[in-house]
Amino acid sequence: MTASVSDVVVAGRFASKARAAWDSDLLWSFRRSPVAIVAFAVLVACVAGAVFAPWIAPQHPYDLASLNLLDALAPPAWVSGSKPGFLLGTDDQGRDVLSTILFGARISLFVGIASVALAAAVGIGAGLVAGYAGGRIDATIMRGADVQLSFPAILIALLIDGVARAVLPHESHGEVAIAVLILAIAASNWVQYARTVRGSTMVEKGKEYVQAARVIGISPLGIMRRHLMPNVMGPVLVLATINIATAIVIEATLSFLGVGVPPTQPSLGTLIRIGNDFLFSGEWWITVFPGAALVAIVLAINLLGDWLRDALNPKLR
Amino acid sequence: MIAFVLRRLAQTFAVLGVVALIAFALFNYTGDPIAFMVGQDATLEDRARLRQELGLDRPFYVQFARFVGNAVQGDFGVSLRQGRKVSVLLAERLPATLELSLAAAILALAVGIPAGVYTALRRHGVVAHALLAASLVGVSLPTFLIGILLILLFAVQLGWLPSFGRGDTVALGGWTTGLLTASGLKSLILPSITLALFQMTLIMRLVRAEMLEVLRTDYIRFARARGLTDRSIHFGHALKNTLVPVITITGLQLGSIIAFAIITETVFQWPGMGLLFIQAVNFADVPVMAAYLCFIAVVFVVINLAVDLLYYAVDPRLRIERGAAH
């Protein structure tokens, strides 16, 4: 009896919370923006397709037993000469293009999100230390950041990736390629977070709650972690959202150039590179559909990021 | 002023030093260079003698100093894959990359500035909205995908333009140019559009934002009150004042055009330095990688330094700010 009453109370509380969230500024502006709604729907569909790829893909494209070379190079379902069961056609190995896209998006999204998470972690740390410590430490970190910022991110990722490939023995490329790639993309991106966090930290550290924390004897590390960090995270989250799109593009570009993920675990960029070889013999679908999936994901994230930035900008309200 | 210039120069040399160190480390710690040079049956004494002759037994800083000394003279050794001098390889590829980058930069400016002005002046028009939406799509499309789509449409489907290579080239002294032959010019069209598109959208958005900013200022209102024509206000007063930041940003972007040329050159098999670098990465051809690394670092550092000094000369506010801070 009491359990059910508390259930009702909890449910009621949840409903009122949900209600409050629904009426909040952010969701109100979301409901009013058809672009944001469509972008969000597309993104959810892509992410769901990628996450559940092993269960929803019509075929497991890297399980050799399920492949049949007789199915190779079949065009998409609406073109004459297509084979049943292959909605977007097949590649030269008889892999279903739709399935390779679902599995490829999995790798692309994983590398994109992991590298942004790593870059944000490093950048937030460096920004907090630089902003809080000031002086020589600040100057050293930010001078390095300035220098790095004057080179395009893709060039830095390419160089790190290239150097790693030259240094590591050739046999180990397959196993560590994805880790190296995540590291390279993160290293090319951390500066933006460091700058943002440093700026807000310098504002926050003069405030009374930080002084109070210092007076009661909390260590600098404790202050940075427990007091400053929660207060400087807002802009970082917006930045991270948009940067996932950038990271996915960099990953796709490196994979397209042949220095990204190994062909045994192809991402969308690798698929486009493989398909590029078939462009001239007329098998356009092997390239065009992975390309379309990549653009859909990146465009959806960019549009959502633009909307989020405007929605959180008090000047535009 | 002098302190600022000196500090910038010190920073520049620090960056070049770090890049040289990376390039040197690449050279020395990727496998044993002796193993590349001698046969399988060379004795240990032979190897040791060669090591001594090449100075590979000397301390780290001596070797590094020698590497820098050679690099400054443009000597990066011999390509492991092609067996030719790296400096010669790079010099052969340089004209292709520079012609492509220059064509892309000119195209980006020639389209980006008018489009930016137009979208600022007719900001609520249908065409302006369409251009802005297109620029967002342009930013979301990765460079290599733009190239592939252009190839698919203009080379495969329509068959109008060639999809790879530079076409016929003419040698002018040490410089091979594709700008003097019909096939060379035709080959340049698709790669330069691909390379220009991203910068084009960037310049368009920048010009639009700057124009909107300037059009709100008092001197524009005053010019209107004086009864000047729209044409004279928009182009004589407003556009002129937006061009300073545009020129600086374009200068900075010149470096990224050369960097992004790596991607475009790979898509179109354009025989430039970027393609050479990607092939070097794929085959772990360390001398070529190290040389390209140093080349691109010098390009960026020189461009950044020039832009910084230019800024300093052009914008008096910067001088006051720095004077107050120090």
| Set of chain B residues whose Cβ sits within 8 Å of the Cβ of A159 | 293
Give the whole-number percent of chain B exceeding pLDDT 90: 0
| Set of chain B residues whose Cβ sits within 8 Å of the Cβ of A162 | 277, 281, 289
Q: Are residues B13 and B115 in the same domain?
A: no
Q: Are residues B55 and B111 in the same domain?
A: no
Q: Are residues B136 and B108 in the same domain?
A: yes
Q: Per the domain annotation, does B137 fall within a domain?
A: yes
| Set of chain A residues whose Cβ sits within 8 Å of the Cβ of B253 | none
pLDDT at B323: 46
pLDDT at A120: 92
Q: Per the domain annotation, does B79 fall within a domain?
A: no
Q: Are residues B52 and B171 in the same domain?
A: no
Q: Per the domain annotation, does B82 fall within a domain?
A: no
Q: Are residues B172 and B64 in the same domain?
A: no
3-state secondary structure of B175: strand
In chain B, whose CA is at the least distance from the CA of A281? Answer: B156
For the entire predicted model, the pTM comes to: 0.80
Is any Cβ of chain B less than 8 angstroms from the Cβ of A256? Answer: yes
Is any Cβ of chain B less than 8 angstroms from the Cβ of A295? Answer: yes
CB atoms within 10 A of CB B225: 8
Best CA proximity match to B191, nearest among B275, B285, B309, B280 = B275
The radius of gyration of chain A's CA atoms, rounded to the nearest angstrom, is 24
The answer to whether A291 contacts B143, with C-beta atoms less than 8 Å apart, is no
Q: How many domains does chain B have?
A: 2
Domain boundary among B72, B99, B125: B72
Q: Per the domain annotation, does B77 fall within a domain?
A: no
Q: Are residues B63 and B93 in the same domain?
A: no
Q: Are residues B166 and B261 in the same domain?
A: yes
Domain boundary among B72, B101, B129: B72
Per-residue pLDDT tens over the stretch A195-213 = 888 888 888 888 888 888 8
> B268 to chain A, minimum CA–CA distance in Å?
11
- Judged by CB atoms within 8 Å, which residues 116-135 of A form the interface with B? none
| Distance, CA of A181 to CA of A266 (rounded, Å) | 13
> A155 to chain B, minimum CA–CA distance in Å?
6
Per-residue pLDDT tens over the stretch B230-276 = 777 777 777 777 777 777 777 777 878 887 888 888 888 888 888 88
Nearest by CB to residue B142, choosing from A158, A159, A253, is A253
Q: Are residues B33 and B173 in the same domain?
A: no
pLDDT at A117: 93
Nearest by CB to residue A291, choosing from B143, B148, B255, is B148
Contact B306, B251 (CB under 8 A): yes
Per-residue pLDDT tens over the stretch A136-179 = 888 888 877 877 777 777 788 887 777 777 677 666 666 677 88
Tell how strand B170-172 and strand B175-177 pair up.
Answer: antiparallel
pLDDT at B324: 45
> A281 to chain B, minimum CA–CA distance in Å?
9
Query: Which amino acid is it at B168?
Result: D
3-state secondary structure of A53: helix
Q: Are residues B58 and B134 in the same domain?
A: no
Q: The domain that contains B316 carries what CATH number?
A: 1.10.3720.10
How much is the mean pLDDT over chain B?
78
Q: Per the domain annotation, does B134 fall within a domain?
A: yes
The answer to whether B259 contacts A282, with C-beta atoms less than 8 Å apart, is no
Per-residue pLDDT tens over the stretch B36-88 = 556 666 677 777 777 676 666 667 777 777 777 777 777 777 777 777 788 88
Q: Per the domain annotation, does B81 fall within a domain?
A: no
Is any Cβ of chain B less than 8 angstroms from the Cβ of A267? Answer: no
Could you list the residue range(s) of the whole structural domain that residue B198 is in?
Answer: 88-325
Q: Per the domain annotation, does B83 fall within a domain?
A: no
Domain boundary among B40, B72, B104: B72
Is any Cβ of chain A less than 8 angstroms from the Cβ of B126? Answer: no
Query: Which amino acid is it at A249?
Result: V
Q: Are residues B29 and B147 in the same domain?
A: no
- Top mean-pLDDT range of A5-19, A69-83, A207-221: A207-221
Helix (H) or strand (E) holding A113: helix A97-133
What ipTM was assigned to the predicted interfaces of this complex? 0.75
Is any Cβ of chain B less than 8 angstroms from the Cβ of A113? Answer: no
A81-112 burial, b if ≥16 CB within 10 A, otherwise e? ebbeebebbbbebbbbbbbbbbbbbbbbbbbb
3-state secondary structure of B161: coil
Is the pLDDT confidence value at B326 over 50?
Answer: no
Best CA proximity match to B147, nearest among B190, B116, B177, B182 = B190
The answer to whether B282 contacts A258, with C-beta atoms less than 8 Å apart, is yes
Q: Are residues B283 and B309 in the same domain?
A: yes
pLDDT top residue among A290 and A26 = A290
The answer to whether A303 contacts B145, with C-beta atoms less than 8 Å apart, is no
Is any Cβ of chain B less than 8 angstroms from the Cβ of A260? Answer: no
Q: Per the domain annotation, does B22 fall within a domain?
A: yes
Q: Both tokens of residue A247?
A: 């990271």
| Distance, CA of B284 to CA of B270 (rounded, Å) | 20
Q: Are residues B199 and B130 in the same domain?
A: yes
